[in-house]
Amino acid sequence: MSDPFSYKNKKVISIGVMKELTGLSERQIRYYEERKLIFPERSAGGSRKFSFSDVELLMDIANKIEDGVQTYEIRQEMIRKQKEQNEQVVRQKMIQGQINAQFGIRK
């Protein structure tokens, strides 16, 4: 699971820079946002702001599209992966709780 406070997750990259880094057009980037594949933040002025993680994600999406994968399939895969990550976090917390209970550790 990625660290939300990592520099890779800070939303500081404009769509113009994103376009240069990925080789995608602004229209493609906006389309992937419309299809709920990427989630840029908005500045006070309404400009999209992306992270370095978004750069990697967009490149992965573009490669899959080039291989013929549909945006719907990509979105379903993203949902499945997020669900698996959430389940893993719950399992880890349950195990930690059992360990704490076994050794009498209270938080």
Write down the domain spans for the chain.
7-102
pLDDT at res. 42: 94
pLDDT at res. 7: 87
- For residue 24, the tally of other CB atoms under 10 A from its CB is 20
Q: Are 14 and 40 in contact (CB under 8 A)?
A: no
Q: Are 7 and 39 in contact (CB under 8 A)?
A: no
Residues lower than pLDDT 50 in the chain? 1
Rounded Cα distance, 35 and 82, in Å? 17
Rounded Cα distance, 40 and 59, in Å? 15
Domain 7-102 fold is Multidrug-efflux Transporter Regulator; Chain: A; Domain 2 (1.10.1660)
